[in-house]
Amino acid sequence: MEFSSKLIEQAVNEMAQLPGIGKRTALRLVLHMLKQPAEQVKFLSEALLKMREEIKFCKSCHNISDEEVCDICSNPRRNQSLICVVEDIRDVMAIENTRQFNGIYHVLGGKIAPIEGIGPSQLNINSLVEKVKLGGVDELIFALSSTMEGDTTVFYIYKQLKGVEVKISTIARGIAVGDELEYADEVTLGRSILQRVPYENAMKSS
């Protein structure tokens, strides 16, 4: 692609570094910005910069936060003895949207993935183990994705907590609500039978 302007070229190249945005899309976005009032682009540019430079991570759960301790951790109405362990900030948002969870979170920041060079020390695992060892935590719910990396991460933390008195559970795996059985994969369908729940419990959905 040839640009008649270095300024455009630079803007396109920077935009195209974002995941899922190729050069063509980047150009479309940049040309759109050119048609917008300069203020609009200033707002965008400043919002991104400010977000990146001022964002804090909650001291306690490592969720993104505008304060030292996030709104969830500092909320007295949340159950501080029930911790849901997730990979990512997006998982916190997804679970919050269900309005089914009243505990607090612990964001690991990823999964153990030796192939990508991510070991336990790069994740927020130590702070979780210490928090549990300090006491006051009744249960850890692991809500990690059901992949080899996710399972490895859960197992690693499980081993670290050997001997510590805390209940450890994982979110239920099964057939998604509304899905048809015949299209479910065998592993999920198999697990959903082995881990069947009493009918009365299943009805307590919300």
In 60-168, alpha helices (H): 89-98, 126-133, 148-160
Footprint (CB under 8 A) of a second copy, residues 138-157: none
Sort residue 177 into left (φ over 0), alpha (ψ -120 to 50) or beta. beta
Residues 102, 71: Cα–Cα separation, whole Å:
13
38 in contact with a second copy (CB under 8 A): yes
14 in contact with a second copy (CB under 8 A): yes
Amino acid (one-letter) located at 144: L
Residue 189: half-sphere exposure toward Cβ, Cα within 13 Å: 8
Write the interaction track for a second copy spanning residues 77-116; mark x where CB under 8 A is met and - where it is not.
-----------xxx-xx--xx-------------------
17 in contact with a second copy (CB under 8 A): yes
72 in contact with a second copy (CB under 8 A): yes
Please report which helix (H) or strand (E) contains residue 36, including its range: none
First to last CA, the chain: 54
71 in contact with a second copy (CB under 8 A): yes
54 in contact with a second copy (CB under 8 A): yes
Residues within the interface to a second copy (CB under 8 A) = 1-8, 10-11, 13-15, 17-21, 25, 27-34, 36, 38, 40-55, 63-66, 70-72, 88-90, 92-93, 96-97
